[in-house]
């Protein structure tokens, strides 16, 4: 028995707009991505309840696709918010059992989390009321214009390079400034909070603009502890991310597997 009694909320109600379709239903080594994510938590002693927020518009379809397997793990399914992630988390919070000491939130779209990361998060939750994993930003960051421009003909370049091939089609944004990346962290999930802190965070009147759960805790004026994340814990946002996650987890795409192993 663990001293922690954690309820895990898994927001899975997004539209996958940037992916261009149902990213959570994509094959990951013969199983849907969503189930891979849920199963990160089903074998942990600390976890006593799991709530998945499903797409409101297609919840019947969601239940028929995943209901049996989620039910087998005792997962509770609720309808999420149509557009905002925080609406999905808020709906899930409403059904979290009252005896949970802590509530963690983990994006369904992050199947690349692993046991070592979960252990770090749970250990930190024993000493801090709000914990998030972060990965130091290693890229140079620049703020750019909203608009794209056709690249303006630059005399020096034009003189040096003969021919007009492709020149007209070059478009890009203009750099406005370079952002100092010192102390900047890319924040991941799972994020974990005492049940009291996250309930107070979500009881605030204005939740708009929250892109993660810790932001709402920060608005309460509570401290948030950042612990070491994992660069492999990427959020599947585009099809390129799915290819990266498959490579990291060592799963081949269905069409790259021998036919008898595809299903
Ligand atoms: N999510 C949710 N409810 C919403 C929006 C997002 O539960 N109204 C979930 C997604 O299903 C995902 C996680 O929050 O697991 C992170 O969101 P994101 O990666 O942005 O996924 P989508 O919103 O589906 O993608 P997009 O923004 O490209 O439409
Ligand atoms: Mg989204």
pLDDT in tens, 59-90: 999 999 999 999 999 999 999 999 999 999 99
Please list the ranges in the chain whose pLDDT falls under 50.
none
N residues, the chain: 263
CB atoms within 10 A of CB 4: 19
* pLDDT value of residue 169: 75
Instruction: Using the mean position of ligand 1's atoms as its centre, give its distance from the Cα of residue 135 in Å.
Output: 20
Tokens representing residue 174 in the block: 């203009």
H or E stretch including 179?
strand 175-179
Alpha carbon of 85 to ligand 2 centroid (Å): 7
Q: What is the best residue among 85, 86, 191 to mutate for testing ligand 1's pocket, by most ligand atoms within 8 Å of CB?
A: 85
Over residues 144-184, the pLDDT tens digits come to 999 998 876 666 666 666 666 655 678 999 999 999 999 99
Using most ligand atoms within 8 A of CB, pick from 109, 113, 190, 242 the residue to mutate for ligand 1.
Answer: 109
Residues of the chain with CATH 3.90.550.10: 6-135+183-261
The answer to whether the CB of 111 is under 6 A from ligand 1 is no
Are 55 and 47 a contacting pair, CB within 8 Å?
no
Find where tokens 């261009």 sit: 20
d(CA 248, CA 36): 14
pLDDT more than 70, % of the chain: 92
The CATH architecture one would assign to domain 6-135+183-261 is Alpha-Beta Complex (3.90)
């Amino acid at each position: 028995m663990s001293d922690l009694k954690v309820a895990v909320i898994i927001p899975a109600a997004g539209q996958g707009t940037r992916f261009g379709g149902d990213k959570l239903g994509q094959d990951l080594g013969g199983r849907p991505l969503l189930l891979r994510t849920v199963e990160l938590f089903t074998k942990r002693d600390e976890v006593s309840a799991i709530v998945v927020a499903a797409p409101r518009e297609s919840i019947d379809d969601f239940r028929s696709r995943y209901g049996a397997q989620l039910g087998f793990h005792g997962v509770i399914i609720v309808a999420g918010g149509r557009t905002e992630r925080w609406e999905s988390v808020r709906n899930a919070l409403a059904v979290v059992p009252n005896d949970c000491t802590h509530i963690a939130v983990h994006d369904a779209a992050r199947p690349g989390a692993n046991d070592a990361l979960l252990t770090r998060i749970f250990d930190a939750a024993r000493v801090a009321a709000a914990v998030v994993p972060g990965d130091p930003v290693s890229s140079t960051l620049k703020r750019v214009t909203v608009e794209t421009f056709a690249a303006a003909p630059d005399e020096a370049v034009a003189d040096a390079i003969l021919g007009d091939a492709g020149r007209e089609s070059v478009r890009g944004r203009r750099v406005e400034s370079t952002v100092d990346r010192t102390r900047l962290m890319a924040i991941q999930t799972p994020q974990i909070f005492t049940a009291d802190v996250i309930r107070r965070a979500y009881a605030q009147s204005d939740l708009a603009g929250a892109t993660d759960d810790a932001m709402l805790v920060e608005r309460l004026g509570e401290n948030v502890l950042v612990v070491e994340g994992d660069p492999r814990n990427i959020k599947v946002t585009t099809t390129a991310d799915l290819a990266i996650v498959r490579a990291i987890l060592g799963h081949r795409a269905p069409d790259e597997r021998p036919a008898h192993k595809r299903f």
